Amino acid sequence: MILLIDMDAFFASVEQAHHPRLRGRPVIVCGDPSRRGVVTAASYEVAKMASGVKKPLGLTLMDEEGFRAEFWPEDVQTMWGVGEKLAARMRSLGIQTVGDLAHAPIPALKGAFGIIGPQLREAAWGKDDTPLVPCHRPAAAKSMGHEVTLPEDSADAAFLEGTLLRLSDQVMRRMRSEGYAGRVVTVKLRNRKFETVLRQRALGSHTREARRVFEVARDLWSENWDGGALRLIGVTVSDLASVPESGQMEMFEDNRRLEKLNRALDSVRDKLGESSLVPAGALSYQRRLRHVPFGAVPSPSAVLKRGAP
């Protein structure tokens, strides 16, 4: 039995409680409207699939039979995982509703959509064999990464490189804190036309060192960037391996020294916050790099006052 408690609309509900004129209207909660940002919450009006049944005050009990009765008459795009383009392709094959998808021949679905076709057919029957992982027993991470939508489209090479540096630093900081090392570096680039490029490269060995990750990320970016303005950039590290607290991935003296340095830097950040120490290569763009996760970059004078390296 699965209990789903949907709180995606919490912040929007708070606003509607404080401002009655907003009740019954589509409401989103986001950042500064003069800048780019993300939607933190949406009211039950921009809601989806099962989370929208009998809302906002209802409690829904739904088994497989109830799911079919509720959703088979609905448009196929109602299905989770079926976006606008996929739905259009399904309609071109005569699949108009969720019920149509449930009864579509498996070979035809696999031929048209690959492995996702039969998987969506199973979901249309209200079936999903994906195991549930309790929150107190999380699954092992397969990758870790950060990506950011830039405050404005940018073709400034130094600014983009500084963003990559900050992202690489924060990804590896997170990996060290959770006891992982990684071997495959992936860079994500998206331009103003929303065209996305993903490129990856494997290292010779696992690492927890941000400098190695950044150097590979920078190479991938420079090799695949056409010089046009980008709106999003990201760094991900995968092929993870757990690292014992007392263990070393590599035993060369330089690597031992880097490991000690990283532990010292992490200790300072743990006590003083993420912005207490930042890569020197990001300082020239300290104000423009505030969009990078885990804290704003301090001004150079603030860094000097703290006596940081």
pLDDT in tens, the chain (309 residues): 777 776 768 888 889 889 999 888 888 888 777 777 777 787 766 645 555 566 555 667 778 888 898 899 999 998 888 888 899 999 999 999 999 999 999 999 999 888 889 999 999 998 877 777 666 666 677 899 999 888 889 999 988 998 999 899 889 888 888 889 999 999 999 998 888 899 999 999 999 888 899 999 999 999 999 999 999 999 999 999 988 654 454 444 446 677 777 777 777 777 776 666 677 666 655 555 554 544 433 344 443 344 443
Q: Given its phi and psi angles, is residue 307 left (phi above 0), alpha (psi -120 to 50 degrees) or beta?
A: left
- The per-residue pLDDT for 303 is 37
Rounded Cα gap, residues 32 and 30, in angstroms: 7
Question: Which one-letter DSSP state was computed for residue 77?
Answer: G
pLDDT recorded at residue 105: 94
What pLDDT is stored for residue 84 in this prediction? Answer: 87
DSSP string, 241-266: EE--TT--S--SHHHHHHHHHHHHHH
Tokens standing for residue 80: 């989770």
pTM of the entire predicted model = 0.57
**What pLDDT was estimated at residue 299?**
41
The one-letter amino acid at 112: A
Q: Where are the domains of the chain?
A: 1-61, 63-127, 143-306
* E strand segments, 192-302: 196-207, 230-238, 241-242
194 half-sphere exposure, CB direction, 13 A CA radius: 0
216: its two tokens: 């590979």
Asked if 197 and 250 touch (Cβ cutoff 8 Å), the reply is no
Match domain 1-61 to its CATH number in 3.30.300, 1.10.3210, 1.10.150, 3.40.1170.
Answer: 3.40.1170
CATH 1.10.150.20 assigned to 63-127:
yes
Q: Tell me, what's the pLDDT at 25?
A: 84
CATH code of the region 143-306: 3.30.1490.100
So what's the pLDDT on residue 76?
A: 93
pLDDT of residue 144: 92
Beta bridge partners of 185: 201, 237
Rounded Cα distance, 275 and 303, in Å:
9
